[in-house]
Chain A
Amino acid sequence: GAGVSQSPRYKVAKRGQDVALRCDPISGHVSLFWYQQALGQGPEFLTYFQNEAQLDKSGLPSDRFFAERPEGSVSTLKIQRTQQEDSAVYLCASSLYTSRNSYEQYFGPGTRLTVT
């Protein structure tokens, strides 16, 4: 079946521009996560949704970052007034929220954001 998809795959933004990154999770997956991956580093947690509820946004680096998932499926990560330090790959992952021991996450291909 279809996996997690993200768009755009690549985005170049001038410093100060706003960007919107889209994630389509696997159908039926209740949980959705956003991670930021800098070059040569492991992914770092940004925010988590269970259905349409944003239950954890503790990883968002500043109030310029905003995420939503209004209907509990597609999610958008918005970055306002982009800065060079925002350059990274933004990964979306979804998981089937079932039991305590079923937290395998399925990652999308990511959006590589370059701020110039």
Chain B
Amino acid sequence: GQQVMQIPQYQHVQEGEDFTTYCNSSTTLSNIQWYKQRPGGHPVFLIQLVKSGEVKKQKRLTFQFGEAKKNSSLHITATQTTDVGTYFCAESIYNQGGKLIFGQGTELSVKP
């Protein structure tokens, strides 16, 4: 079945350092969504990418969708302690109601 692989599993950074998480698929993705889950919280939607090579920015966050639509990345510039949490990529399966197939997530910790 569909599978989305996400690396790294954990990332520990000093506040102010950059952070990147990567999402890879062996098959072409129709789209990629990114969610953030704070410790003890629930996933919160960040963004959706649909087009090949698409790049979107939200303040310090930059999201990219690969040209072949088989990979995606989330980059955070100058991390802050408020960035702590687990970041998940997920594919929304349009012809199955939009159900989400999640990657395993990258847990980010930020040392002040």
A contact set with B: CB distance below 8 Å: 31, 33, 35, 41-45, 48, 50, 55-56, 59, 91, 93, 95, 97, 100-101, 103-110
Q: Is B68 an interface residue (CB 8 A)?
A: no
Q: Are B50 and A108 neighbours in the complex by a CB distance under 8 Å?
A: no
Give the residues in chain B near A107, CB-CB below 8 Å: 42-44
Q: Is B33 an interface residue (CB 8 A)?
A: yes
Considering the complex, give the chain B residue whose CB is closest to the CB of A101: B50
* Sampled A-B contacts (6; CB under 8 Å): A43-B88, A45-B100, A48-B97, A95-B98, A104-B33, A105-B100
Q: Are A42 and B88 neighbours in the complex by a CB distance under 8 Å?
A: yes
CA A105 – CA B31 in complex, angstroms?
14
Interface range for B:
20 to 34
CA A45 – CA B102 in complex, angstroms?
9
Q: Is B105 an interface residue (CB 8 A)?
A: yes
CA A24 – CA B43 in complex, angstroms?
17
CA A102 – CA B48 in complex, angstroms?
9
Q: Are A33 and B100 neighbours in the complex by a CB distance under 8 Å?
A: yes
Q: Are B102 and A55 neighbours in the complex by a CB distance under 8 Å?
A: no
Q: Are A103 and B44 neighbours in the complex by a CB distance under 8 Å?
A: no
Considering the complex, give the chain B residue whose CB is closest to the CB of A55: B97
Give the residues in chain A near B90, CB-CB below 8 Å: 42
Q: Is B110 an interface residue (CB 8 A)?
A: no
Interface string of B81-102 (1 = CB under 8 A from A): 0000000101010101111111
B20-53, CB < 8 A from A: 31, 33, 41-45, 48, 50
Give the residues in chain A near B100, CB-CB below 8 Å: 33, 35, 43, 45, 93, 105
**Also in contact, A42 and B105, with CB within 8 A (given A101-B48, A107-B43):** yes
Q: Are B99 and A33 neighbours in the complex by a CB distance under 8 Å?
A: yes
Considering the complex, give the chain A residue whose CB is closest to the CB of B105: A42
Q: Are B94 and A109 neighbours in the complex by a CB distance under 8 Å?
A: no
